Structure 1
Amino acid sequence: MKKFFKILAVLLLLVLVYLRIEIYPQLDLISGFASKSVASGHFIDNRSLETIKQGDNDIDKIDWATNEIDDAERFVTSKVYGFKERKAIYREGLGATLINDDFDVSKPYETPKRTQLKRALPFPFGDLELKDTAFTNIDYQKLNTTVENAFDKKGIKNKRTRSVIVIYKDKIIAEKYDVGFNKNSKILGWSMTKSITGTLFGILQKQGKIDIDKPAPIDEWATDSRKNITLNDLLHMNSGLEWEENYEKISDATKMLFQAEDMGKLQLEKPKQFAPNTHWNYSSGTTNLLSKILRNKFKTHQDYLDFWYSSLLDKIGMNSALVETDMAGNFVGSSYGWATTRDWAKFGLLYLHKGNWNGEQLFDESWAKYVATPTNTSNGRYGAHFWLNAGGYFPDVPRDMFYASGYQGQMVAVFPSHDLVIVRMGLSEDFDFNGFLSEVVGSLKN
Structure 2
Amino acid sequence: MKYIKRILLLLLIVIIVVVFLNYSKLNIISGYASKYMASATYVADRDSVSIVDNDLKMPLVELAEVSLNSKNASASASVYGLMNRKAIDRQGLGTVLVDSDYDENEPYLQPNRNFEKIGKPYPYGHLENKDTLLPEVDYDQLEKAIGIAFANPEVQKTRTVVVLYKGYLLGERYADGFTKDTRVLGWSMTKSLLATCYGILEHQGKLQMDWPAPIPEWKDDERNQITLNHLLRMQSGLEWEEDYSKISDVTRMLFLEDDMTIAQKEKELVAQPTKIWNYSSGTTNLLSGILRQQFRSHQEYLDFPYQNLIDKIGMHSMILEADVKGNYVGSSYAWATTRDWARFGQLYLDKGVWNGEQVFDSSWVDYITEVTPDSDGTYGAHFWLNAGGIYPEVPKDLFSCNGFQGQHVYVIPSKDLVIVRTGLAERPDFDSNGFLSGVVKAVE
Once residues 168 and 16 of structure 2 are traced to their aligned partners in structure 1, the CA distance between those partners, rounded to angstroms, is 59
Query: In the TM superposition, what whole-angstrom CA distance separates every residue of 1:78-124 from its partner, at most 9, and x where no partner exists?
Result: 11011100000001100010112232222110000000233221011
Distance in 2 (alpha carbons) for counterparts of 1:167 and 1:207: 29
| Structure 1 range deviating more: 65-74 or 188-197 | 65-74
Matches within 5 A, 1:13-28: 19=18, 22-28=21-27
Q: Does 1:39 align with 2:75?
A: no
Give the match's secondary structure for 1:232: helix
Aligned mates of 1:76, 1:107 — CA distance in 2: 19
Distance 2:298 2:203 in 1: 22
**Deviations 1:172-220 (CA, angstroms, capped at 9, x unpaired):** 1110000011000000000000000000000001111111101001111
- The aligned runs of 1:382-393 (5 Å cut-off) are 382-393=379-390
> Which of the residues 153, 165, 169 maps onto 2:166?
169
1:232 matched to 2:225? The reply is: no
Work out the number of aligned pairs and report it. 433
Q: Is the 8 A contact 2:144 2:438 kept in 1?
A: no
Corresponding residue of 2:73: 74
Question: Deviation per CA, 1:371-421, whole angstroms, max 9, x where unpaired?
Answer: 011111211110000000001111111100000000000000000111110
**Deviation of 1:149 (Å):** 2.9
Q: CA deviation at 1:129?
A: 1.4
2:425 counterpart letter in structure 1: S
Within 5 Å, which residues of 2 pair with 1:30-429? Answer: 30-152=29-151, 156-429=153-426
Q: Distance in 2 between matches of 1:137 and 1:432?
A: 25
What secondary structure is seen at the aligned counterpart in 1 of 2:261? helix
**CA distance in structure 2 between the aligned counterparts of 1:251 and 1:51, rounded to whole angstroms:** 29
TM (normalized to structure 1)? 0.95
| % identical equivalent positions | 52
With over 3 angstroms needed to count, the CA separation of the structure-2 counterparts of 1:18 and 1:363, relative to structure 1, is same
Structure 1 segments of 4+ aligned residues over 4 angstroms from their partners? 14-21
By how many angstroms is 1:16 displaced? Answer: 9.1
**Structure 1 residue identity aligned to 2:24:** P
How far apart, in 1, do the equivalents of 2:45 and 2:16 lie?
41
Cα 1:318–1:168 shift into 2, 3 Å: same
Is the 2:118–2:314 contact (alpha carbons within 8 Å) kept by the matching residues of 1?
Answer: no
Look up the SS of the partner of 1:266 in the other structure: coil
Letter in 2 for 1:287: T
Question: Which segment is superposed worse, 138-147 or 397-406?
Answer: 138-147
1:20 CA displacement: 6.4
Alpha carbons 2:65, 2:80 under 8 Å: kept: yes
Paired amino acid for 2:357: E
Matched residue type, 2:55:
D
Question: CA separation in 1, counterparts of 2:161 and 2:69?
Answer: 33
**1:210-265, CA deviations, whole angstroms, 9 ceiling, x for partnerless residues?**
11101001111111110010000000000000000000111000000000110110
Q: How big is the shift at 1:17? A: 9.2
Kindly report the root-mean-square deviation, in angstroms, between the aligned alpha carbons of the 2 structures.
Answer: 1.6
Deviations 1:297-352 (A, max 9, x none): 11111100000100110011000000101111100000000000000000000100
Q: C-alpha separation between the residues in 1 aligned to 2:378 and 2:17?
A: 38
Distance 2:379 2:76 in 1: 38
Q: Distance in 1 between matches of 2:16 and 2:388?
A: 46
In structure 2, relative to structure 1, the CA distance for the partners of 1:143 and 1:102 (3 Å cut) is same
Q: Report the residue type matching 2:251 in the other structure.
A: T
Q: Distance in 2 between matches of 1:52 and 1:217?
A: 41
Contact 2:148/2:434, CA 8 A, preserved across alignment? no
Does the 8 A contact of 2:345 with 2:411 survive in 1?
Answer: yes
Deviation of the 1:423 alpha carbon = 0.3
Amino acid in structure 1 at the alignment position of 2:49? E
Structure 2: distance between partners of 1:306 and 1:420: 30
By how many angstroms is 1:21 displaced?
5.8
The answer to whether the 8 A contact 2:43-2:94 is kept is yes
Match of 1:3 in 2: none
Q: Which moved more, 1:276-285 or 1:47-56?
A: 47-56
Distance 2:20 2:271 in 1: 32
Query: Conserved in 1, the CA contact under 8 Å of 2:148 and 2:431?
Result: no
Q: Which residue of 1 aligns with 2:435?
A: 436
Deviations 1:9-47 (A, max 9, x none): xx99x9799656630000100000000000000001111
Partner of 2:169, secondary structure, is strand
Structure 2 unpaired stretches of 5+ = 1-9
CA distance in 2, matches of 1:249, 1:46: 30
Q: TM-score, normalised by structure 2?
A: 0.95
CA contact (8 A) 2:384 2:402 kept: yes
- List runs of 5+ in structure 1 lacking aligned partners: 1-10
Q: Secondary structure at the match of 2:55?
A: coil
User: Is this contact kept in 1: 2:226–2:273, CA < 8 A?
Assistant: yes
Secondary structure at the counterpart of residue 264 of structure 2: helix
Equivalent position amino acid for 1:70 in 2: N
Distance in 2 (CA, whole Å) between partners of 1:21 and 1:356 is 55
Distance 1:353 1:79 in 2: 46
- Equivalence for 2:6: none
Q: Which amino acid aligns with 1:249?
A: K
